């Protein structure tokens, strides 16, 4: 059914004028959401569905929940920016969207249910709200990691972006599931306001609850509910992601001690403070950080390292406001900054990096070829440094003009260039 609908849409796009498509788009998406849920038999009714939304931290929190649920003995599926998984089977998400449309979620839930899954963890984005993809998810629980400025051009304003996130909370309110739980970040005013939602349980989480917080650039540790948690991920932001996952799991009857064991053994989260090790005497890290707050958090996770930072600005034609801010943050935190191409779409890549450089006190190096930029950063590294490559994470393409897609993996390119270093020095 999913493939059939996708084929019809491709044909219609070629023959129906764009103005008509734009006018009918909301009706189309709404009708499609209803029809696809019905066509797949409303599979969410037979799953415990846990959503994760927020500006940053969604994928890591989803991975944490996935690990905890599996450790608790639940056969669990996952839909995230990084991958699609059904228990132990996993494939990378190469669709350039967190929650694909045209009934993907409904088709995936039915697959998961037929594979014996009882639980599903699914990321929900503000973009998915615009196309009604959050309808009929049948949420049992929802984590709101945080709300920060993002996607402002797409939504029209920060207020409308917040409203899109609130629509996901409203989907939890409307869900027919009887024991609905909302877990939201109390440290952010916008997400704290969501705790007034009409659900049986609304639970806040806060950095204040991270007892005895400690760590280094490889790990974070904290105490909650009398249990010591140790994560194989650095940074307070990852500790907060873990706290949110633990609190939702606790509301589902999973003891914090079990969650602690699952999180201590958490596999590396691809594209999220992901270390690439080829035997070099410095750190090489790939991260998705694409907002000012997430970039600041990434750099803050490596406080005692000299940092060489490679970054662009995610998405030509959008969120222009953050370009100088991203440049300023890198300028202040990094010993060396290399600005490079990321996803320019139909915009001039040089204009994007020039906007980033405008707020920098020091002139950055500008190397538009992303591989060349990564190679230069690795060559410049000294023993003990941290080379931080941000913005793409697990994004599988560099998006160019006219919809062009260049296959890409920051982690693979970093590894390839690290392996070439001995021959080049």
H or E stretch at 15: helix 2-15
> Can you say how many angstroms the Cα of residue 353 is from the centroid of all Cα atoms in its chain?
23
Examine the fold and report which residue of 242, 264, 286 is the final residue of a domain before the chain moves on. Answer: 264
Output the pLDDT for position 121.
Answer: 98
Pair (307, 220) in one structural domain: no
Pair (284, 242) in one structural domain: no
Output the pLDDT for position 131.
Answer: 87
CA distances from 57 to 223, 228, 265, 351 (A): 20, 21, 19, 29
H or E stretch at 259: helix 256-264
Calculate mean pLDDT across residues 66-76: 98
Examine the fold and report which residue of 241, 264, 287 is the final residue of a domain before the chain moves on. Answer: 264
Output the pLDDT for position 122.
Answer: 98
Which pTM does this prediction carry?
0.92
* Six-digit token string for 369: 């070829």
- Structural domain includes residue 298: yes
Question: Strand pairing partners for 309?
Answer: 337, 388
Higher pLDDT, 149 or 320: 320
- Structural domain includes residue 58: yes
User: Does position 14 have pLDDT exceeding 90, yes or no?
Assistant: no
Per-residue pLDDT band at 129 (split at 50, 70, 90): confident
Pair (182, 310) in one structural domain: no
User: Does position 423 have pLDDT exceeding 60, yes or no?
Assistant: no
Pair (294, 231) in one structural domain: no
Per-residue pLDDT band at 24 (split at 50, 70, 90): low
- Tokens 């950063």, residue? 377
Q: Which domain holds residue 397?
A: 274-424
Pair (252, 375) in one structural domain: no
Higher pLDDT, 276 or 403: 276
Pair (321, 173) in one structural domain: no
Per-residue pLDDT band at 26 (split at 50, 70, 90): confident
Pair (250, 304) in one structural domain: no
The domain tally of the chain equals: 2
| Beta-sheet strands, E only, within 356-399 | 365-366, 386-390, 397-399
Output the pLDDT for position 288.
Answer: 95
Output the pLDDT for position 8.
Answer: 61
Output the pLDDT for position 21.
Answer: 61
> Can you say how many angstroms the Cα of residue 36 is from the centroid of all Cα atoms in its chain?
25
- Structural domain includes residue 133: yes
List phi, psi (to 5°) of 143: -105, 130
CA distance 225 to 223: 7
H or E stretch at 158: helix 158-174
Examine the fold and report which residue of 229, 264, 299 is the final residue of a domain before the chain moves on. Answer: 264
Output the pLDDT for position 399.
Answer: 94
Condensed to tens digits (0 to 9), the pLDDT of residues 95-104 reads 888 888 878 9
- Structural domain includes residue 19: no
Give 168-233 as a 3 state SS string: HHHHHHHCCCCCCEEEEECCCHHHHHHHHCCCCEEEEECHHHCEEEEECCCCEEEEECCEEEEECC
Pair (298, 246) in one structural domain: no
Picking from 100-109, 136-145, 265-274, which range would have the lowest pLDDT averaged per residue?
A: 100-109
Condensed to tens digits (0 to 9), the pLDDT of residues 173-218 reads 999 999 999 999 999 999 999 999 999 999 999 999 999 999 999 9
CA distances from 379 to 282, 284, 287, 421 (A): 11, 12, 19, 7
Pair (318, 375) in one structural domain: yes
H or E stretch at 25: helix 18-39
Handedness of CA 40, 41, 44, 47 (dihedral sign): negative
Pair (242, 375) in one structural domain: no
Pair (131, 48) in one structural domain: yes
Instruction: Identify whether the C-beta of residue 274 lies closer than 8 Å to the C-beta of residue 411.
Output: yes
Cα-based angle 111, 250, 202 (whole degrees, multiple of 5): 90
CA distance 386 to 217: 10
- Structural domain includes residue 65: yes
From 163, 164, 168, select the one nearest 199 (Cα to Cα): 168
User: Does position 403 have pLDDT exceeding 80, yes or no?
Assistant: yes
User: Does position 424 have pLDDT exceeding 50, yes or no?
Assistant: no
User: Does position 267 have pLDDT exceeding 70, yes or no?
Assistant: yes
Per-residue pLDDT band at 425 (split at 50, 70, 90): very low
Pair (185, 297) in one structural domain: no
Output the pLDDT for position 6.
Answer: 58
Handedness of CA 151, 152, 156, 157 (dihedral sign): positive
- Structural domain includes residue 11: no
Per-residue DSSP letter, 53: E
Average pLDDT, the chain: 93
336-339 and 365-366 strand pairing: parallel
- Structural domain includes residue 359: yes
- Structural domain includes residue 8: no
CATH number where 236 lies: 3.40.1190.10
CATH number where 375 lies: 3.90.190.20
């Amino acid at each position: 059914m999913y493939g059939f609908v996708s084929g019809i849409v491709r044909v219609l796009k070629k023959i129906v004028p764009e103005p008509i498509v734009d006018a009918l788009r909301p009706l189309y998406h709404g009708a499609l959401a209803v029809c696809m849920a019905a066509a797949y038999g409303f599979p969410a009714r037979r799953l415990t569905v846990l959503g994760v939304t927020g500006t940053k931290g969604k994928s890591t929190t989803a991975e944490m929940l996935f690990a905890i649920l599996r450790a608790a003995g639940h056969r669990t599926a996952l839909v995230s920016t990084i991958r699609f998984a059904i228990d132990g089977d996993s494939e990378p998400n190469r669709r350039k969207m967190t929650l694909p449309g045209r009934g993907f979620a409904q088709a995936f839930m039915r697959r998961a249910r037929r594979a014996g899954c009882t639980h599903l963890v699914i990321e929900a984005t503000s973009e998915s709200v615009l196309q009604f993809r959050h309808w009929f998810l049948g949420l049992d629980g929802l984590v709101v990691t945080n709300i920060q400025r993002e996607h402002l051009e797409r939504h029209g304003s920060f207020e409308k972006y917040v409203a899109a996130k609130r629509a996901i909370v409203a989907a939890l309110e409307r869900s027919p599931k009887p024991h609905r739980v909302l877990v939201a970040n109390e440290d952010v005013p916008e997400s704290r306001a969501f705790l007034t939602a009409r659900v049986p349980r609304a639970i806040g989480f806060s950095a204040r609850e991270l007892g005895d917080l400690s760590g280094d650039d490889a790990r974070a540790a904290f105490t909650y509910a009398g249990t010591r948690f140790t994560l194989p991920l650095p940074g307070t932001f990852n500790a907060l992601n873990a706290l949110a996952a633990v609190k939702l799991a606790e509301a589902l009857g999973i003891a914090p001690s079990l969650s602690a064991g699952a999180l201590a053994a958490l596999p590396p989260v691809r594209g999220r403070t992901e270390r690439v090790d080829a035997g070099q005497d410095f750190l090489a890290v790939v991260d998705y950080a694409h907002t000012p707050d997430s970039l600041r958090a990434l750099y803050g996770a490596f406080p005692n390292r000299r940092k060489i930072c490679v970054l662009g600005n995610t998405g030509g034609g959008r969120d222009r406001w953050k370009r100088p801010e991203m440049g300023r943050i890198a300028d202040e935190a990094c010993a060396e900054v290399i600005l490079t191409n990321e996803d320019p779409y139909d915009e001039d890549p040089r204009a994007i990096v020039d906007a980033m450089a405008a707020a920098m006190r020091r002139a950055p190096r500008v190397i538009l070829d992303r591989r060349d930029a990564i190679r230069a950063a690795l060559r410049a590294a000294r023993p003990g440094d941290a080379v931080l490559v941000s913005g793409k994470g697990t994004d599988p393409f560099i998006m160019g003009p006219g919809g062009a897609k260049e296959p890409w993996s920051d982690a693979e390119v970093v590894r390839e260039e690290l392996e070439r270093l001995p021959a080049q020095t």
